[in-house]
């Protein structure tokens, strides 16, 4: 069974001590059981939703992935992409992925709340948090409309030590908190595919 990962540095596990400590890789390892899982990581550092659409989805099309996990949007928020533009690009991305015979299952992840980060500061932080809330609402509604699973990371990584020293990416502890949200959904999806 193959799992494709789309997104930005969060999907890559940036901020964790080791890449395998990233939330996606922890979740895959914990959900594997006796299944042989192949992970194909297409995520790109600093990617926006448009990068996922233009660069990552075409690469995904070259492989047969049973499950796709997508986590993107933080860079769009930092760049202050208009919510309507983000929604249109996210919709186009899901449509492009779902238009293919595979993946069988898709998991869309929300963006963690940046309230405890060191960057950005002041009014920029308030504007970024507002965009993250709007984006997460879009991610949730579009994932449901496309029959995808949704993982809500909004309440995660708000505890002390959950962010890395850059103040933007989750630490290994933050990635572990996120993995605890993704694992049960991923495990359920894997079981459902195995039963078919």
The total number of structural domains that make up the chain: 1
pLDDT surpasses 80 at 182: yes
pLDDT tens per residue across span 105-158: 999 999 987 655 555 566 777 788 889 999 999 999 999 999 999 999 887 656
Domain CATH code at residue 141: 3.40.50.1110
Structural domain containing residue 67: 2-195
Q: What is the pLDDT of residue 33?
A: 75
pLDDT tens per residue across span 89-107: 999 999 999 887 777 899 9
Residue pointed to by tokens 């790109």: 44
Q: What is the pLDDT of residue 125?
A: 75
Q: What is the pLDDT of residue 51?
A: 98
pLDDT tens per residue across span 163-180: 777 777 888 888 999 999
Name residues whose C-beta falls within 8 Å of residue 16's C-beta, 6 or more positions apart in sequence.
Answer: 22, 164, 170, 171, 172, 175
Write out the H or E segment, with its range, that includes residue 39: strand 38-41
Alpha-carbon distance of 131 to 194, in angstroms, equals 38
Other CB atoms closer than 10 Å to residue 135's CB: what's the count?
Answer: 23
């Amino acid at each position: 069974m193959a799992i494709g990962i789309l997104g930005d540095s969060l999907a890559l596990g940036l901020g964790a001590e080791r890449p395998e400590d990233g939330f996606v890789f922890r979740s895959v390892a914990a959900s594997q059981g006796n299944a042989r899982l192949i992970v194909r990581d297409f995520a790109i550092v600093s990617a926006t939703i448009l990068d996922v659409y233009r660069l990552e989805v075409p690469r995904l099309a070259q492989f047969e992935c049973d499950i796709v996990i997508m986590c993107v949007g933080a860079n769009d928020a930092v760049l202050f992409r208009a919510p309507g533009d983000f929604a249109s690009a996210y919709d186009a991305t899901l449509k492009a992925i779902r238009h293919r015979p595979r993946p069988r299952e898709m998991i869309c992840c929300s963006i963690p709340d940046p309230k405890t980060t060191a960057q950005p500061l002041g009014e920029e932080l308030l504007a970024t948090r507002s965009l993250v809330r709007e984006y997460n609402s879009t991610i949730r509604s579009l994932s449901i409309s496309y029959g995808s699973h949704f993982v809500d990371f909004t309440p995660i990584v708000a505890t002390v030590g959950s962010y890395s020293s850059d103040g933007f990416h989750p630490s290994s502890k933050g990635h572990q908190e996120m993995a605890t949200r993704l694992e049960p959904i991923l495990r359920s999806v894997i079981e459902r595919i195995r039963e078919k």
